A = this chain, B = another copy of it.
Amino acid sequence: MASDRPDVSLADFQQLIRTMYYEKDIARGVDGTFMWLMEEVGELAAALRQGQHQDQLEEFADVLAWLATIANVAGVDLSEAVQRKYGSGCPGCGQLVCVCPNEGKP
Contact partner, A98, options B3, B21, B76, Cβ 8 Å: B21
A57 touches B84 (CB 8 A): yes
Give CA–CA (A19, B96) in the complex, Å: 7
Copies of this chain assembled into the complex? 2
Contact partner, A76, options B11, B57, B65, Cβ 8 Å: B57
Contact partner, A80, options B16, B27, B57, B82, Cβ 8 Å: B57
Q: Mark A1-23, 1 if CB is under 8 A from B, else 0.
A: 11101011111111011011100
Q: Which residue of B lies closest to A75 (CB)?
A: B1
Q: List 5 A-B contacts (CB under 8 A).
A: A3-B11, A3-B79, A7-B12, A57-B77, A60-B82
